[in-house]
Amino acid sequence: MKHTLSIVALFAIALPTVAYGTQQSGLLGFSAQNAERERAWERIMAAVPDSAKMREYHFALTRRPHHAGTEENHRLALYLRDLWEGFGFETEMVKYDVLIPWPGELRLKLVYPEEIELSLTEPPVPEDPDTYVEGGLPGMAAYVTPGDASGELVYANYGRIGDYRLLEEMGVSLEGKIVIVRYGGSPGQMRGMKVREAAIRGAAAVVIYTDPEEDGYVRGDVYPNGRWRPWEGIQRGSFLDVPIYPGDPLTPFQPSIPGVERLAFEDAATIQKIPVQPISYGEALKILRHIGGPVVPADWQGGLPITYHIGPGPARVEMHVEYDYQQRPVWNVFGKITGEIEPDKFVLVAGHRDSWVLGARDPTSGAVSLLETARGVAAAVEQGFRPRRSIVFGSWGGEDFFLLGSTEWGEQFAEELRENMVVYINRESYIAGAWGASANHSLEPFIIETSRDAPHPEASSLYDAWAAQRSRGGGGGGGVRVNALGSGSDYTVFLDHLGVPSMSLGYGGGNGVYHSLYDTFYWFQRFGDPGYRYGVAQADMVGRLVMRLANAEILPFDYTSAADAIGEYVDQLVTMDDGGRLREELRSIGAATARLRIAGSEANSVYERVLAGGAEWVASQQQTIREVNQLIMQAERELIDERGIWRRPWYRNLVYAPGYYEGYTAKTLPGVREAMEEGEWDIARTQAGMLVEALVRATDVVTRAGEKAKEALPRQVS
């Protein structure tokens, strides 16, 4: 049973990781001379990000609601385009017409044991003038089936698959019932999965709220006195069944452009089949206090001042949900710096700009930090910086409705992106808080190394703060790690569908304004990042990542790091395989992973020796180096299988995917892992075979990259 572990561990001991570029130059992927030049250009970039400019951008981008499909969202795309053109970038805008629902009449009424018309609006806060804004989306649920529903209530905790299965064990039927669930739950669960599983079990509708235990008064003072969600705060959101596929529900695998055949509404697999209504925890209390039946298990008890019960009933509600589904415009906008040596290859760093109302934190905080990254890189270009590869900055439309602009663009330009896109860096919202990074593990050493040169508002470097943070959190020894990516933001199409290596990183922490009216400029100035110190530091770190990826002589991917992470995931599967049903398959995966590690270590050693020849020597080997870099890029693509993973063929990455029941949190080695969890052993064997084939392909490409790099080794003079 433990042979898989021992194979991986044996090779890990025999061949220690060689992180190329570190011995002579101190910078992954660079010769010593070019490492110094790179750091000089980065110093020019790092001198630019400025809190006053961030505040200026932030105010301008949060004056009016700008959700997907609106003219205001288009106007902000033009605003960003004009800024980038002012920085000296080439710009482009791309439009898609995507199915987007806008709400009509929404009603929810408690009809027994008392009659209460429940409020579905959020009142303004006198201290915050932006909360008086008009035109924002109300407390709505996107991509649900409109209609009427009524029935007794059943409380289902977070609506996780385990919660529903526990109700079944208790003999509680959801047939014809209205299910009330709370947002959140661990592992991170996207709201749509809560509804999908309720509908499968016969529920007539779902009511969803954010419990104060997660982000209300239990956590601290509520807005406007503190950062947490007030009693009236409502979390809007998309309920698209994202683990099936993101983007336009009517055009899976295809972009939403003229001439593409669209599914009928009723045939769209990702639109939820029952009505849904989000409410505040203040209104949820009016319902929950009337639910009887058994007292909930201890870990189902939330933060409201009542004892929670499961039901069903006696509480009953009536719901009316109207939505106007139409094709509406979604705009992506890009700004480009053309590379000098490999102009066809490019690094893309982007985030979205659409929001449910004003979106000062989500997503505009990330957008303004990224603008300062762009302005810093532009300053370096103005002074002579010419990146080896192209750099593209982007702004997506329609992320909040669930990854509309990025998915449609990725599907439209799939072949070009597979061939030429080096890395996608996702820049979502941020607030002052802990640093986090998730990425393909072949990029882990590069991200960690870059953090050593990046600043931090409270420490000597980002790395030092990150290590201390991990140590406080029980990480042990202060070492830092990069997490696996699941879904929930715009990297999804690149990582999970196309195999383009991706990272999503930034500062963050708890808050109570997510997807609410109260996510305003005023809130951010008080509780998000007063003075934009973290935003400026983040702009610096992202700038370094972009510039190094665009300028490295040999791309800084480390497949020993990837193999180490995959080996850990295999170990986890071994512990799950108590009966030994998958013993041989897991042993094969472990052996293939060990061979990938050997190939990665040998390739790293060659890259190190090539770079040790110096900048002039490397420059003389440009054609060979280009071929090496193409192979380095290709290796991650080999971990894609066009057949897709079990139950959802749009997701093709055999190492990373969002969990089928979670939607946000990553499931690693997902085809094998989820089949094992469901007891589908034949499927698990098939998926294991696909994974072994992918690892063999990736190993072959890494080996070829190392062999090709040998052609660029400095000549020995006798």
Write down which residue in 502, 524, 551 finishes a domain. Answer: 551
301 shares its domain with 210:
yes
Look up the CATH number of the domain holding residue 229: 3.50.30.30
Average pLDDT over residues 168-186: 97
Sign of the CA dihedral with 359 first, then 361, 363, and 367 last: positive
Look up the CATH number of the domain holding residue 596: 1.20.930
Question: How many residues are given for the chain?
Answer: 718
Q: Is the peptide bond before 387 cis (omega within 30 degrees of 0)?
A: no
d(C-alpha 440, C-alpha 495), whole Å: 8
d(C-alpha 233, C-alpha 222), whole Å: 10
126 shares its domain with 41:
no
Average pLDDT over residues 234-249: 98
- pLDDT of 10 reads 40
8 Å CB contact between 401 and 240:
yes
| Residue 716's pLDDT band (cuts 50, 70, 90) | low
d(C-alpha 552, C-alpha 550), whole Å: 6
Residue 72 C-alpha from the chain's centroid = 25
Domain limits at 454? 32-78+340-474+481-551
Q: Is 85 a member of any domain?
A: no
pLDDT(9) > 80: no
| Residue 23's pLDDT band (cuts 50, 70, 90) | very low
d(C-alpha 655, C-alpha 118), whole Å: 45
Residue bearing tokens 């997506």: 396
Q: Is 434 a member of any domain?
A: yes
- pLDDT of 26 reads 78
Give residues with Cβ within 8 angstroms of 474, minimum separation 6. Answer: none
Average pLDDT over residues 361-379: 98
d(C-alpha 487, C-alpha 484), whole Å: 10
Q: Which of 175-184, 465-474, 489-498 has the lowest mean pLDDT?
A: 465-474
546 shares its domain with 566:
no
| CB-side neighbour CA atoms (13 Å) of 54 | 30
pTM: 0.95
| CB-side neighbour CA atoms (13 Å) of 333 | 21
8 Å CB contact between 62 and 363:
no
The candidate with the shortest Cα–Cα distance to 66, out of 56, 54, 76, is: 76
Q: Is 715 a member of any domain?
A: no
384 shares its domain with 320:
no
Residue bearing tokens 């079944």: 168
- pLDDT of 712 reads 97
Write down which residue in 551, 581, 598 finishes a domain. Answer: 551
Residues paired with residue 327 on neighbouring β-strands, in sequence order? 99
Mean residue pLDDT of the chain comes to: 95
Q: Is 658 helix (H, G, I), strand (E, B) or coil?
A: strand
489 shares its domain with 620:
no
Residue bearing tokens 């066809």: 344
Q: Is 308 a member of any domain?
A: yes
Q: Is the peptide bond before 187 cis (omega within 30 degrees of 0)?
A: yes
- pLDDT of 472 reads 78
- pLDDT of 20 reads 56
d(C-alpha 397, C-alpha 404), whole Å: 7
Sign of the CA dihedral with 152 first, then 156, 160, and 161 last: negative
Burial 267-301 (b: 16+ CB within 10 A, else e): ebebbbbbbbbbbbbbbbbebbebbebeebeeebe
194 shares its domain with 304:
yes
Q: Is 352 helix (H, G, I), strand (E, B) or coil?
A: strand
pLDDT(496) > 50: yes
425 shares its domain with 404:
yes
168 shares its domain with 254:
yes
Q: Is the peptide bond before 103 cis (omega within 30 degrees of 0)?
A: no
Q: Is 67 a member of any domain?
A: yes
Q: For residue 672, give Cα distances in angstroms to 398, 483, 606, 686.
A: 32, 19, 34, 8
Q: Is 52 a member of any domain?
A: yes
Residue bearing tokens 């893309």: 348
Q: Is 454 a member of any domain?
A: yes
Share of the chain above pLDDT 90, in %: 94
56 shares its domain with 124:
no
Q: Which of 21-35, 392-406, 486-500 has the lowest mean pLDDT?
A: 21-35
- What's the first-to-final CA gap in the chain, in angstroms? 52
pLDDT(718) > 90: no
The candidate with the shortest Cα–Cα distance to 510, out of 621, 593, 432, is: 432
pLDDT, tens digit, 9 for 90 and up, residues 66-117: 999 999 999 999 999 999 999 999 999 999 999 999 999 999 999 999 999 9
404 shares its domain with 438:
yes
- pLDDT of 13 reads 36
d(C-alpha 83, C-alpha 89), whole Å: 9
- pLDDT of 479 reads 76
19 shares its domain with 123:
no
8 Å CB contact between 698 and 596:
yes
pLDDT, tens digit, 9 for 90 and up, residues 582-632: 999 999 999 999 999 999 999 999 999 999 999 999 999 999 999 999 999
Look up the CATH number of the domain holding residue 368: 3.40.630.10
Backbone angles phi, psi at 443, to 5 degrees: -100, -5
The tokens for 342 are: 């490999």
Number of domains present in the structure of the chain: 3
Determine the residue type at 140: M
Residue bearing tokens 């400029």: 521
d(C-alpha 465, C-alpha 461), whole Å: 7
Write down which residue in 551, 573, 605 finishes a domain. Answer: 551
| Residue 475's pLDDT band (cuts 50, 70, 90) | low
169 shares its domain with 236:
yes
Q: Is 89 a member of any domain?
A: no
